[in-house]
Structure 1
Amino acid sequence: MKQYFKLLTILILSIFLFSCESSDDPDLTPVQEEFPDLQIFVDRFVEEAQLRGYTLDLSNVDAEYTDELTRNDITFCGIGYVNFQQTGRRTVLISKAEYCAWATKSDLERENLFFHELGHAVLNLPHDNALKCDGKPLSMMTEQFNTFEIYKEGEEELRTYYLDELFDRLVANEQCIDFGQDFGQDPVFFANDMSDPSWNFSNDNGNYQVSRGVHENSETTYLGISSEGNGQNTGYIYKQLDAPNIPEGASVTLRTKVNAENLQGPGVAIALRVYEREIGTTGATTTESHLLSTEPNPVSGDLNDYVMELTLPNFTRKTIFMIPFAVMMPGTEGQAYFDDFEIIVEDMP
């Protein structure tokens, strides 16, 4: 009986030891949590920032799941807000919707999307659709590629580059960049294209009338501003250009030809505002790096293809967006046309 008991004990102990050893088998894949606490990715982002010399306190950032993300009738898998309307806080929302398949994504795929949204919410970055010469996105802030797969398993060097560029946009200058055009042959970076609806204006409560169109007699595009002289503030038309894909060190000129008949009062002007971001402890702040304007010296009277231009002599990829303006000054009476309103890129280094 004692020998039988001893044999049974050894057998039970062997089964137990075998079971423990089997649980450590490297071929067994652990079950991944479908909707882990998103703070995991916030903390990882802080660690990546620390590796690059930035100390972040992101306790002011909300990271939450939502059943579905829709904005302007468009569905999203993630959205990053610098200032979420409902709370006034930096916020990242991740969709649980089946079409996003977050529950089945790998940890690295989830990191891709989440870091992209933190680029918006914490680093104040717009989308950047520039390409490398090999066709890959220049920045993980692209919106033209699968945001879950900007870098993949085994692409550690690529991951390092994209995170480096996320915190320092100048890192991209070490890459071969596809600028989308040969500025030596075609220097026009931006023009008043009538197929582009995303222009904005300020009419000072209706004291200015603004328009965009094409002159029938010449097929020249124009920005038009008119007033009866009642404007108390400036009237203007403008367009925000996010992440301009322009060579480092190039000369950038805003240029237009103004036409008007008997424009009375102070007159019209143009302006160019340029913005960068500065990363602080609680996230980035957006600051104006340059303000170029002819507003101190507006023009009026009879104007026939009067050339107005402003030049930024040394463009930098630190620029996250720039805004060109066509302006009518307060107290001006009459109508002015800003023809061939465009931005020219010249003098590449």
Structure 2
Amino acid sequence: MRYSFKLVLILVVLLGFQACNQSEDNVPEITKEEFPDLKIFLDKFEAEAKLRGYNFDFSNLDLVYVDKLTMADGSEYCGLGIIKHPVSGKRTIQISKSPGHCDWAKKTDIERENLFFHEMGHAFLGLLHDNALMCNGKPLSMMTDDFNQFFIYKENEPELREYYLDELFDRLAANEQCIDFGQNFAENPVFFKNDLSDPMWRFSNDNGRYQVSRGIHPNSFSTTYLGISSSGTGQNNGYIYKELEVPNIPEGATVILRTKVNAENLEGPGVAIAMRVYDTKIGTTGATTNESHTLTTEPNPVNGKLENHVLELRLPNFTRKTIFILPFAVMMPGTKGEAFFDDFEILVEPV
């Protein structure tokens, strides 16, 4: 695949939440030391990793307290996991000492462990937030940001703790749970489609040699399109793509990227679709992002007059190790004309 883009993954993941109120007759025992050495929690993380067969080198990891973690919009965060710190270049965990919002000083060790392990998931294991649910309404992963991160599991829940830590190191552990996928894929297979209310699309126009667009066909108010056009001067691919993070799709399912292409007269190589799939690989010094699959119709682009010409890619045996799926609409270098990728969507066929 000839792409000029450089995939930008999220290197900094923030976690912010309100501390839960507790009744006076149910106050947990408070750890005597308000700001203990964070290595205490790193040692716990290391012990859990060794139980699961990992021996890590933490020499490139910094653990620091900060007085407050306030973002540009004024929001306050309790923890921050950074894969590569912009100054030190190291993996970094920052914990806020702020008394009003986070109250780390008044948390128990197990509550502190909850937050610290979550941030290690970001900074050391390369994980994003995962807001999938179990069928009972509990978070499927401790990497959720829909729940208060101090309280994912408690001192008296050793089995739940063991599950969450299993899943932290191996996302496939979630397959042992009853998972709420949010829909019945056998009845409604559409997992993703081009929704015009979604601004988070990216594109490459090869320094203005392509024009890209998204819209609704005026003669069919239910049909959305991705549009790419060029005068034929493109030297690299022109493309539009979407980054789908931590897709909540059943293990073993077939994932299908499908669209209908319309064009009046495409000259030159033509257009295609592509799909890239990523997971993480855990090494001694932490996780790295790995491209597990690349599927594309680029070796056989379509051109000429196209009327609802179906392009499709099929990814069998989906795995929950997946952290990104990137679907692309592509115009090949040297193509002249305009193409519309209608009903650009991803479907799921469960096992």
Normalization by structure 1: what TM-score?
Answer: 0.89
Question: Which protein has the larger Cα radius of gyration, Structure 1 or Structure 2?
Answer: 1
1:72 Cα offset (Å): 5.3
Equivalent position SS for 1:331: coil
SS in 2 for 1:126: coil
Corresponding residue for 2:144? 142
CA distance in 2, matches of 1:317, 1:31: 37
Name the CA distance, whole Å, in 2 between partners of 1:215 and 1:85: 44
- In the superposition, relative to structure 1, how do residues 204 and 280 fare at CA in structure 2: closer, same or farther (>3 Å)? same
Structure 2 residue corresponding to 1:252, chosen from 252, 255, 258? 255
1:30, distance to aligned residue in structure 2 (A): 7.4
Spell out the pairing of 1:20-39 with structure 2 (5 A cutoff): 32-39=32-39
**2-side partners of 1:313 and 1:322: how far apart?**
13
SS of 2:329's equivalent? strand
Structure 2 CA distance for partners of 1:215 and 1:51, relative to 1, 3 Å: same
Task: Could you tell me which runs of 5 or more consecutive residues in structure 1 were left unpaired when the two chains were aligned.
Answer: 1-28
Partner of 1:158: 160
Shift of the alpha carbon at 1:53? 0.6
Percent identity over the alignment is 69
**Cα distance, 1:77 vs structure 2:** 1.4
**1:217 is matched by which residue type in structure 2?**
N
What residue is the counterpart of 1:8 in the other structure? none
Distance 1:117 1:320 in 2: 17
Question: Relative to 1, partners in 2 of residues 1:247 and 1:31: Cα closer, same or farther, differing over 3 Å?
Answer: closer
2:189 is matched with: 187
- Counterpart residue identity of residue 42, structure 2: V
**2: distance between equivalents of 1:295 and 1:308?**
11
The SS at the match of 2:49 is helix
Q: Where does residue 19 of structure 2 map in the other structure?
A: none
Give the number of aligned pairs.
320
1:221-242 CA deviation, whole Å, 9 max, x = no partner? 1111111222211111111111
Evaluate the alpha carbon distance shift between residue 226 and residue 72 of structure 1 in structure 2; reply closer, same or farther with a 3 A threshold: farther
Larger fraction in helix: 1
Identify if the C-alpha distance between structure 1 residues 39 and 199 changes in structure 2 by more than 3 Å, giving closer, same or farther: same
* AA partner of residue 282 (structure 2): I
Following TM superposition, by how much is the alpha carbon of 1:71 offset from its aligned partner in structure 2, in angstroms?
4.1
Q: Does 1:56 align with 2:56?
A: yes
- Relative to the length of structure 2, the TM-score reads 0.88
CA positional deviation for 1:31: 5.7
2:246 to 243, 256, 270: 243
Q: Indicate conservation of the 8 Å contact 2:31/2:108, yes or no.
A: no
Q: Where does 1:261-280 land on structure 2 (aligned, <5 Å)?
A: 261-280=264-283
Q: Is the deviation greater in 132-141 or in 215-224?
A: 215-224
Q: Confirm or deny: 8 A CA contact 2:31 2:109 kept in the other structure.
A: no
C-alpha contact (below 8 Å) 2:272/2:330 kept by paired residues:
yes
Amino acid of the structure 2 residue aligned with 1:200? R
1:323 aligns with 2:326: yes
Structure 2 residue identity aligned to 1:84: H
Deviation digits for residues 5-54 of structure 1, max 9, x if unmatched?
xxxxxxxxxxxxxxxxxxxxxxxx77622222222222221111001111
- Structure 1 stretches of 4+ moved >3 Å: none
Q: Partners in 2 of 1:299 and 1:153 — Cα distance?
A: 60
Deviation track 1:185-241 (CA, whole Å, cap 9, x = no partner) reads 100011111121111111112211111111121021111111122221111111111
Residue identity in the other structure for 1:131 = L
Candidates 191, 198, 201, aligned match of 1:199: 201
Q: Which residue of 1 aligns with 2:18?
A: none
Q: What is the Cα-based RMSD across aligned positions, in Å?
A: 1.4
User: What's the offset of the Cα at 1:143?
Assistant: 1.1
Distance in 2, matches of 1:206 and 1:92, equals: 40
Alpha-carbon distance change, 72 to 217 in structure 1, aligned in 2, over 3 angstroms = farther
